[in-house]
Amino acid sequence: MIPPAAVGFYRQNGYYLHRQPLFSAAQFQKLSAIFEEHLAEKGEKRADQLDVPHFRDPRLFEFLLADEVLDLVEPFLGPDIALWSSHFICKEPQIGRATPWHEDSAYWKGRLDRMDQIVTVWLALDKVDRENGCMKVIAGSQINGFSDYEEVDTATNLFGRQIVAGQVDESRTVYFELEPNQCSLHDGRLIHGADANTSTRRRCGYTLRYMAQTSRFIRENNGTHKIWHARGENPLGNPVQPVPAF
């Protein structure tokens, strides 16, 4: 699935765009239907706050642990893989909040002993483009280490802080425009964000996040968070959950 040059490109730039359908049409339709259920049952949560839905819905493991996904991730992480997290992120038409510039690793600092072995697969559930606020990244910024942050208003932003202005080289911005069932992969250290969705179209995606099991899960810094064994071995003895029935 991955051309030989893709891994080198990823190492240099911190991302890779997979412009092929990730799942079969039937499987993608099934996943989309599950998402619509979660969206309908979200209660008072905003549509962009449906974090770790697999903690509550074991049906999602059919997709999170699918060979189609793990075969895509393995060239970048190696053969020993754990499921780190997942998140439905849906930005509603005209009111979808911006995602400020950030590094995922800044939110995960101290929870693993290293941050260079996490890959996020961002699967488009809707068509995503610049008009409805697709993800944007700063190519190559995964090598910069942790940035400094400042507070922002959560009424208009998905997170309450952003990288301090002046520390982001926006001349290196790349926009991830994707069709439904296409995906991107990015390094957990890569600076990225998204503009607000001011369009008349919804912008929804599902993030599937994986870690190499050559990274150590620091139990005391993870609260109730759980990870699942996905593929290969567990050489460091991380407290992975067994593969559930689904």
Torsions phi, psi of 117, nearest 5? -130, 40
pTM: 0.95
C-alpha dihedral (195, 111, 56, 207), degrees to nearest 10? 30
Give the three-class secondary structure for 153.
coil
Going from the C-alpha of 241 to that of each of 136, 213, 237, the distances in angstroms are 33, 13, 11
User: Would you list the domain boundaries of the chain?
Assistant: 4-241
Do 80 and 231 form a contact (C-beta atoms < 8 A)?
A: yes
Say how far apart CA 171 and CA 160 lie, in whole Å.
Answer: 24
CB atoms within 10 A of CB 230: 24
H-state helical runs in the chain? 4-13, 25-40, 61-64, 67-77, 104-108
What pLDDT score was predicted for residue 2? 86
Q: What is the pLDDT of residues 31-89, one digit of tens each?
A: 999 999 999 999 988 888 899 999 999 999 999 999 999 999 999 999 999 999 999 99
Among 191, 223, 221, residue whose Cα is nearest residue 109: 221
What pLDDT score was predicted for residue 216? 98
Q: What is the 3-state secondary structure (H, E, C) of 71-132?
A: HHHHHHHCCCEEEEEEEEEEECCCCECEEEEEEHHHHHCCCECCCCCEEEEEEECCCECCCC
What pLDDT score was predicted for residue 65? 97
Q: What number does CATH give the domain 4-241?
A: 2.60.120.620
Q: How far is CA 137 from the centre of its chain?
A: 13
Say how far apart CA 82 and CA 67 lie, in whole Å.
Answer: 13
Written as tens digits, the pLDDT of the chain (246 aa) is: 788 899 999 999 999 999 999 999 999 999 999 999 999 999 988 888 899 999 999 999 999 999 999 999 999 999 999 999 999 999 999 999 999 999 999 999 999 999 999 999 999 999 999 999 999 999 999 998 899 999 999 988 988 899 998 899 999 999 999 999 999 999 999 999 999 999 999 999 999 999 999 999 999 999 999 999 999 999 999 999 988 877
What pLDDT score was predicted for residue 67? 97
What pLDDT score was predicted for residue 245? 78
Q: What type of residue sits at position 158?
A: L
Do 186 and 192 form a contact (C-beta atoms < 8 A)?
A: yes
